[in-house]
Amino acid sequence: MEFIPAKNIVTRTKGNGWFGTDYNMNIYKGCCHGCIYCDSRSECYRIEDFDRVRAKENALEIIRDNLSRKVKKGVIGTGAMSDPYNPFEKELQLTQQALAIIKAYGFGVAIATKSPLITRDIDILKEIQKRSPIIVKMTITTADDDLGKIIEPHAAVSSERFRAIKELSDNGIYCGILLMPILPFINDTKENILEIVRLGKENGANFIYPAFGVTLRDKQRDYFYDQLDAHFPNIKKKYMLEFGNQYSCGSPKAKTLYASFTKECNRLSMLYRMSDIVSSYKLNHGNTQLSFI
């Protein structure tokens, strides 16, 4: 593992934070999941050799110092640029130890991941949730493990992620699904969307937040198109004809998919609006949600 220098790790979010977060935290740089669509490959993020994971030097000391200087308590988001539960975390335990520091300073946490390794830290998450808001967002883009092995080749398959959601939910942790990206002409089918909703409900997810499309730009688009040529012959041509150089590439089926999605979520009493999800998880810490474990 290569360690890289850092001055600050917990930084203030700009404007309204994603899922109601107040701060961002990235202990690692780069990601080895190999997802063919990852936006973090884009030039604007300036991450060279993106598939190689590096950790930030003295991360725990910096996090402790950062939190000791925060006047306002709040929710710390992690996982936006690099999965905090990459394979190296199992040995390094930097995310686990950072959660212990977050607990000690009385902050909440919002974690985005594709890894079942998060279940290792259930005890710490439960302790944080007694006093502060917690939300775990498990990214799931397909209900088909075989398709998942192509579009997210080095990440845990979807069935393993659903099992992780169940374990988190059974332990009273507020968790749900990031249903994104939904790739036009690949996983943008009604069958896929409704199966993910069904499995989410079956495994105790509190919410599903969707995006029926993908964003593409510069280096990210180049990598994505190379992967389309390798695994989905003729699909690149469809993208070029449909979207050209657009940044936002919404599924041509987005409206009908969203209608089916919301109908099923309403039927199963699953939250899917950002405002409802944020209100729910921020009200759920320290209450009887923990009583059914």
Nearest to 78 by CA among 47, 112, 50, 105: 112
Structural domain boundaries, residue 215: 2-283
Q: Is residue 292 part of a domain?
A: no
Q: Is residue 293 part of a domain?
A: no
Percent of the chain whose pLDDT exceeds 70: 97
Q: pLDDT tier at 25 (50, 70, 90 boundaries)?
A: very high
Q: Is residue 110 part of a domain?
A: yes
* Residue pLDDT, tens place only, 60-96: 999 999 999 998 999 999 998 899 999 999 999 999 9
Query: What pLDDT does 287 receive?
Result: 46
Q: Is residue 288 part of a domain?
A: no
* Residue pLDDT, tens place only, 170-211: 999 999 999 999 999 999 999 999 999 999 999 999 999 999
Q: How many domains does the chain have?
A: 1
End-to-end CA distance of the chain: 37
Q: Is residue 15 part of a domain?
A: yes
Q: Is residue 291 part of a domain?
A: no
How, if at all, do strands 54-56 and 28-29 pair? antiparallel
Query: What pLDDT does 88 receive?
Result: 97
Q: Is residue 136 part of a domain?
A: yes
Q: Is residue 115 part of a domain?
A: yes
* Residue pLDDT, tens place only, 227-237: 999 999 999 99
Check which CATH number belongs to the domain holding 19 and give it. 3.20.20.70
